[in-house]
Structure 1
Amino acid sequence: MSFQNVSPYIRIAMDSIIQSPWMLKERMLWDYELLYLMEGRADITIEDKTYEGRPGDLFLFKPGKRHSIQIIGDNPIRQPHVHFDLFEQADSGDVKVSFKMLQDMDETERSWFRKDELSGALVDLPTYIRLREPSRVEQQLFGIISEFEAKLPLYEWRLKGSLLELITYIVREHAWNGRLYENSLHQELLLDIERYIAAHVHRELKLDELSERFHISKYYLIHLFNKVFDVSPIQYHQRIRLERAKNMIRHTLMPLQEIADQLGFSGIHAFSRAFKKKVGVSPAGFRKEFRDEHRSESVRSFI
């Protein structure tokens, strides 16, 4: 399946506090489960490998992978968690949370196993992730749980978007950690450069300026930046300028010339060329498409 068409289905989203002693016997899930260990400690075994889970650890149980959980010590554990399908399917509403092993499942249950799309070439998430900023994942996870429990109108839409935002953050966090580890000698330098670029989205930025400011050769700077961000510093700067432009076009009535001026383009024609090259449509065309789509959605809401 294409990630362009991803549309998750949230089966369960809940916060649970479990008293010691407690053990979840080995099982295989039909779907995914994201489990965040917020309090307490637990031995979490996945496919015969045991992790000592501590507060701030995130676990991704994947379809068809054996796993078990056992509390360590006398203190309870707190584990907000979400069960989901990455792609909603016709039978998503019928599939439950599994507590069985393969040999205990009937034919129908064995047909419920989802394809593991998070262990591929494009996205390859491990089963265990030590988070840099646990508070951010906590906030997103509890937002999903609150939305699932409240079930306000159109909550399904909100859940899909919130879960995709969380998964995207986790994927980027994992990729970022791996790349920064490989380039740990230059970690602070790269972070400083990235912050500087983001702070100067309102104007043109030259490679010479970055080289002089951070006392690094232009060629080595491009090499390091590419290893972590997959683009050169100037390409990264252009990307975030154009993302800012897209938001301004969508959500303000500001004239396109004024947007070009605020983002430091030399003129409306330079802005239009750069925008069309990146987005595939001119700024004026992008604004028209957005307004037409928004108008259609407004009409549908009254039908």
Structure 2
Amino acid sequence: METEVLYSGYSYHDKPMYPDEWIGNDYYLLRLQTEGNCRICLDGRSERLVPGDLLFLRPEETYRLVVEENEEGKAGSGDYYVICKGAWIDRWASRGDKPKRAHIQADGSVLDIWKRIVLERRRIGENNGELVDYLLRALCLTLERAFKQANGGKSDNVRGVAAHRMKRYIEEHATQTFAVDEVAASVRLSPSRAAKLFKEAFGETIVKYAIRVRLSIAIERMQYSGLTLEQIAESCGFGSYPYFYRCFMKRFGVSPREYREEASPIA
């Protein structure tokens, strides 16, 4: 295996804690704050972590975690972590600029993989090292994409994050019918502001990108399912076959039926 997971899990601290400094030795640490908040001492600075804050420490790098009571006399800090090493991780860590700390969109695309790693590590006696290896790679690559999205945008980081969140909303809801207003509402912007921001970030309109995603899904279903073209149009968010037909013809220059016949679909 090109990766090794030493520890992984979820931890929640509901009492104040002031542990000793953590030293990774030969291991990397990935830690994602998901609940509450805490304070860390990193590179001689004291910083507060909130949900979505990710730590990435390389071998021999150190930090200290501090959980304190709030104004109400309560403490609470939850996080997912993985401590790992390996040749693949070395190559991944050296590729591009990966900050020690970043704020990311901690959604299902990240947490689902992280939870799966934790679950697979609990399956004592099963030969699942290869699966954990690939899950860890998937987690690292997903986090790398989150790094880039968190630092996206033309000149304003907040605008870049909003644009990527709209893009993700379209991808996740592509098989449903939705309006530009709903995409804008997902990032709490007006429709006109959202449309302008999306066009600046990606060079095409929200509607055009949604059509591209839907057509991609439709082609997969045309090739690998026995659904009728009418069913595909409905299930891919086009709403009707005539609209699907017009979009398909404009994009590919042939009708859906002609494309399907040439592609020799699997029925």
TM-score interval, smaller chain: 0.5 to 0.7
Q: Which residue of 1 aligns with 2:83?
A: 83
The answer on 1:61 being equivalent to 2:57 is: yes
Give CA deviations for 1:6-39 in whole Å, capped at 9, x if unaligned: x7553432334677331134x3543432112445
Q: Which residue of 1 aligns with 2:92?
A: 117
| Change in 2 beyond 3 A, CA 1:250/1:171 | farther
Aligned length: 238
Instruction: Return the letter of the residue paired with 2:121.
Output: F
| Change in 2 beyond 3 A, CA 1:45/1:214 | closer
Q: Which residue of 2 aligns with 1:12?
A: 7
Instruction: Return the letter of the residue paired with 1:182.
Output: D
Q: Which residue of 2 aligns with 1:36?
A: 32
> Does the 8 Å contact 1:249/1:283 carry over to 2?
no
Instruction: Return the letter of the residue paired with 1:239.
Output: R
Please list, as runs of the form range in 1=range in 2, the aligned pairs for 1:107-186 lying within 5 A after superposition: 115-118=90-93, 120-121=95-96, 124-133=97-106, 137-138=110-111, 140-151=113-124, 155-156=128-129, 158-160=131-133, 162-179=135-152, 182=156, 184=158
| Change in 2 beyond 3 A, CA 1:85/1:237 | farther
Instruction: Return the letter of the residue paired with 2:132.
Output: L
Q: Distance in 1 between matches of 2:261 and 2:102?
A: 40
Q: Which residue of 2 aligns with 1:266?
A: 245
Deviation at 1:61, TM superposition (A): 1.3
| Change in 2 beyond 3 A, CA 1:198/1:10 | closer
Give CA deviations for 1:100-143 in whole Å, capped at 9, x if unaligned: xxxxxxxxxxxxxx53524544xx43221234446875554333
Higher mean displacement: 236-245 or 188-197: 188-197
Deviation at 1:59, TM superposition (A): 0.9
The answer on 1:24 being equivalent to 2:3 is: no
Deviation at 1:226, TM superposition (A): 4.8
Q: Distance in 1 between matches of 2:160 and 2:30?
A: 32
Deviation at 1:224, TM superposition (A): 3.9
Q: Which runs of 5+ in 1 are unaligned?
A: 1-6, 89-113, 206-212, 276-280, 292-303
> Does the 8 Å contact 2:4/2:133 carry over to 1?
yes
> Does the 8 Å contact 2:174/2:214 carry over to 1?
no
Give CA deviations for 1:181-232 in whole Å, capped at 9, x if unaligned: 81757987996798579767689x9xxxxxxx9558xxx96x7435434655
Q: Distance in 2 between matches of 1:152 and 1:230?
A: 51
> Does the 8 Å contact 1:12/1:82 carry over to 2?
yes
> Does the 8 Å contact 1:256/1:268 carry over to 2?
no
> Does the 8 Å contact 2:160/2:201 carry over to 1?
no
Q: Distance in 2 between matches of 1:134 and 1:179?
A: 17
| Change in 2 beyond 3 A, CA 1:177/1:265 | same
Q: Alignment RMSD, CA only?
A: 5.2
Higher mean displacement: 178-187 or 147-156: 178-187
Deviation at 1:69, TM superposition (A): 1.5
State the TM-score, normalizing by the size of structure 1: 0.53
| Change in 2 beyond 3 A, CA 1:154/1:285 | farther
Give the % identical residues: 13
Deviation at 1:150, TM superposition (A): 1.7
